[in-house]
A and B are shown apart, each in its own frame.
Chain A
């Protein structure tokens, strides 16, 4: 089983080892043919229909608008159905700095997303705090508050970088297993194990 992304060759991805290892691990455990095929179909569906939540705090959001505009046109990949309600979106693309006042809001948005859900951290600020990391009220990377799937560095990243990041997310989705195996529910339980105080609040 190899992860195929249309119009992007396997060698063109720069961190093949990570996904390759994941694929190997999955292949080693093996899967029922029926379930395996069904998984593939589902993953094909999910990975080709990633609807973003419109969420931008600063400069990266403008580049995201460029991504939707005619020159780059993310509609080609089926990513253009940007939903404003988190209930209907598939992934949250954190574009821009997250500050202390915004952090609880962002977490709530993540919680409001319907499973399966993914997080992409776009730009230096979302990845690590970027140029503002010494500030008194900037979150040093959204991974402090959310489980991030893909990081897209840049300040702001070019639209091409956005596409590369989205394709990385597609690859990641294509190796997940909907039935058993890698299940995102576990991630939430892990999260509660780490932050027991949140349990009552999120519930």
Chain B
């Protein structure tokens, strides 16, 4: 830790350090880009992953919190705070050329806070309509509905973009641009399309059937969860996590609860920990089964989809008995879980573990063992390891590129360190590898469940939690391994019962960021399979 301080002070003497959960480095905007470059490239630092990029409004200033991770330093994490006082025309240097993941994340910050990123190639709004007035997550945002009425007209000038380029003399010049050339044959896929897994929209310029460029247009299910959370108390914001990535509902909620518990300094009873982990793993199986089904269906093998759903229904039954709902379970609460396990839980889980290996073989026979499926998936959507790291592609998709990024291993949380399971790694870097990682992860999840199902300790399911949950002043960042990758929650508190800022760092957001990279040069039909194998959930992207 101390060597980081020395190295950073050497590069940027003006930086100040605050010890905390992670080391917080505060730098001036003018020092930020050189520091970022140094952090990424200096030997001994090599912060190669930009884990989170969080726009902030500290009232007197606007700014960005960066969470950087260094895989070579044992996944050590530091945070960097960059603030600018200018509220009229805030500008920060873009780091999208260092960490490609920032390409979309900076657009999100621009959308929410109006912070313009210098040298970012494509500074459009990301979630909101391009005729939106104001920046909704700013604290002084005018909520007057007359400013932003429900517009029933289409957005105009969709192709227009702008970038703010720094000139050699230090002046910033506004350079307008176009997303697609006039001569491009642009095929619009979505928002209502059977294979975008929700309301995603891709605009793909094609040459014959070969994709030349993909433009991701998001925000068709952007519900403003982060803004809503700022006006609710901590227990009230929990339910949003179930409705973001509804296929990782338990994990996401686990993450948010852990973040709040960490801030409160709350000790969770062992029984609750075990139940939470079991639920997480069941959720992972159910999610991967759905992913299997959808991949198969997007490839036209409809029958396999039904087989996947058959087993998924069994898991939903387990959830329903214990949690009371098939989806949106709302099971984790601050301090533990909301209800005790159903008496049949152990029996049901054992049955599931017992049948899964056979069913996985059946899936392989029905779908992935088929030569057509193999030809459709192999060597399609190549994502080399360096790109996976640069775009922060975690979860099964990252591990399909042979990047060891399982949060359960690298940032162990809850009772995962005690458990015996393997991180599935494949080096195919293609859609098939991503698909196979999922199938193998089902086996590993079953293995975790088998270790726990007979060892659920007796005890409380919930810790004592004060009636009104208040967090001390400060900020916290917590990550878990959700079904699709590393899910992060950032909470900044001003000491009140409402959070000052909540940010959800969703894995799918990064997944959709590589669509352009992976689809180029492939065919339109591959665009669908690449999307299916990346397996993003749209409400998780849009939040």
A and B touch in the complex (CB under 8 A): yes
Our pick among A71, A101, A131, A198 for the contact of B220 (Cβ within 8 Å) is A101
Residue of A nearest to B542 (CB): A99
Best-surrounded residue of A66, A107, A198 (most CB of chain B within 10 A) = A66
- Separation of A203 and B40 alpha carbons in the complex (Å): 57
Q: Tell me whether B384 is interfacial, beta carbon within 8 Å.
A: no
Contact in complex: B198, A57 (CB < 8 Å): yes
A11 to chain B: closest CB distance in Å? 27
- Interfacial residues of chain B within 299-335, with CB under 8 A of chain A in the complex: 305-306, 309-310, 312-313, 316, 326-328
Contact residues of A between 63 and 82, Cβ < 8 Å to B: 63, 65-66, 69-71
The chain A residue with its CB closest to the CB of B217 is A101
Q: Say yes or no: A100-B198 contact (C-beta < 8 A), given A105-B220, A136-B136.
A: no
* Cβ-defined partner of B154 (8 Å) among A63, A104, A144, A156: A104
Cβ contact within 8 Å between A84 and B193: yes
Given contacts A107-B152, A137-B148, A155-B328, A96 and B224 within 8 Å (CB-CB): no
* Chain A residues within an 8 Å CB radius of B539: 57-59, 96-97
**CB within 8 Å of B: which of A125-180?**
131-132, 134-139, 144-145, 155-156, 158
From B225-233, B272-280, B425-433, give the one contacting chain A: B225-233
CB <8 Å contact, A137 and B225: no
Asked if A3 is at the interface (CB within 8 A of a chain B CB), the reply is: no
Partner of B199, one of A57, A134, A145: A57
- Give the residue of B193, B223, B231, B326 whose beta carbon is less than 8 angstroms from that of A97: B223
Shortest C-beta distance, B498 to chain A (Å), equals 13
CA distance A97 to B191 in the complex (A): 13
Question: Is B246 positioned at the interface, with any CB of A under 8 Å from its CB?
Answer: yes
Residues 104-120 of chain A, each 1 if its beta carbon lies under 8 Å from chain B, else 0 = 11010100000000000
Q: A179 to B154, alpha carbons, bound, how many Å? A: 36
Q: Is the CB of A100 within 8 A of B223?
A: no
Distance to closest chain B CB from A76 (angstroms): 14
Contact of A62 among B129, B221, B228, B290 (CB under 8 A): B290
Indicate whether A61 reaches chain B with its CB closer than 8 angstroms: yes
A100 touches B228 (CB 8 A): no
B-side contacts of A53, CB under 8 Å:
192
Q: Which residues from chain A contact B246 at a C-beta distance below 8 Å?
A: 58-59, 62
Cα(A107)–Cα(B152), bound, Å: 8
Cβ-defined contact, B221 with A99, below 8 A: yes
Distance in Å from the Cβ of B310 to the closest Cβ of chain A? 5
Do the beta carbons of B313 and A66 come within 8 Å of each other? yes
Q: Scan B321-359; emit 1 where CB is below 8 A from any A CB, else 0.
A: 000001110000000000000000000000000000000
B308 (CB) vs chain A CBs: closest residue = A69
Q: How far is the CB of B338 from chain A (nearest CB, A)?
A: 16
Contacts A102-B199, A135-B227, A145-B152; is A54 near B128 (CB within 8 Å)?
Answer: no
B157 interface residue (CB < 8 Å to A): no
Chain B contacts for A104, CB-based, 8 A: 151-154
* A59-B199 CB under 8 A given contacts A102-B220, A156-B327: no
Q: Which of A137, A139, A155 contacts B222 (CB 8 A)?
A: A137
Chain B residues with CB under 8 Å of A144's CB are 150
Establish whether residues B313 and A96, one from each chain, have CB atoms under 8 Å apart when the complex forms: no
Q: Known contacts being A61-B198, A101-B219, A101-B222, is A156 close to B313, with CB within 8 Å?
A: no
- Once the chains are docked, how many angstroms separate the CA of A62 from the CA of B325? 14
Complex formed: what's the CA distance from A149 to B246 in Å? 27
Choice from A63, A65, A86, A198 contacting B152 with Cβ under 8 Å:
A198
B313 & A99 in contact (Cβ 8 Å cutoff)? no
The 6 A-B pairs of least Cβ separation, nearest first, read A69-B309, A135-B224, A59-B246, A132-B223, A58-B539, A102-B220
Could you list which residues of chain B lie within 8 angstroms of chain A, going by C-beta atoms?
127-129, 136, 141, 143, 148, 150-155, 191-194, 198-199, 219-225, 227-228, 231, 239-240, 243, 246-247, 290, 305-306, 309-310, 312-313, 316, 326-328, 538-539
* Other 13 A-B pairs with CB < 8 A, given A102-B191, A136-B143, A137-B136: A54-B192, A58-B246, A62-B246, A62-B290, A69-B306, A97-B539, A107-B152, A109-B192, A131-B239, A131-B240, A137-B148, A156-B328, A198-B152
Query: Which residue numbers of A lie inside 8 Å of B, CB to CB?
Result: 53-59, 61-63, 65-66, 69-71, 84, 86, 96-97, 99-105, 107, 109, 131-132, 134-139, 144-145, 155-156, 158, 198, 201
